[in-house]
Structure 1
Amino acid sequence: MGIQTAKTPRSCQGNRRCRRCSNRQAVIRKYDLMLCRQCFRENAKAIGFEKH
Structure 2
Amino acid sequence: MSYERVKKQLANKPAKLARYIKHNSSKKRKFGDITAPCRRCGKKGSVMHKYGLNYCRQCFREEATNLGFKKFN
Which interval holds the TM-score relative to the shorter structure?
Answer: 0.7 to 0.9
Q: Which residue of 1 aligns with 2:6?
A: none
Quickly say closer, same or farther: Cα 1:17–1:51, change in 2 above 3 A: same
Larger Rg: 2
* Cα distance per residue 1:13-42 (max 9 Å; x no partner): 223200000000100000000000000000
Provide the rounded CA distance (Å) in 2 between the counterparts of 1:36 and 1:42: 10
1:31 to 43, 51, 67: 51
* Structure 1 ranges of 4+ moved more than 2 A: none
Unpaired runs of 5+ residues, structure 1, are 1-7
Across the aligned residues of Structure 1 and Structure 2, the Cα RMSD in angstroms comes to 1.7
Q: CA deviation at 1:11?
A: 1.4
Q: Size of the alignment, in residue pairs? A: 45
Question: Whose helix fraction is larger, Structure 1's or Structure 2's?
Answer: 2
Q: Which amino acid is the alignment partner of residue 11 of structure 1?
A: K
Between 20-29 and 8-17, report the one with greater CA deviation: 8-17
Which of 33, 44, 47 is the matching residue for 2:64?
Answer: 44
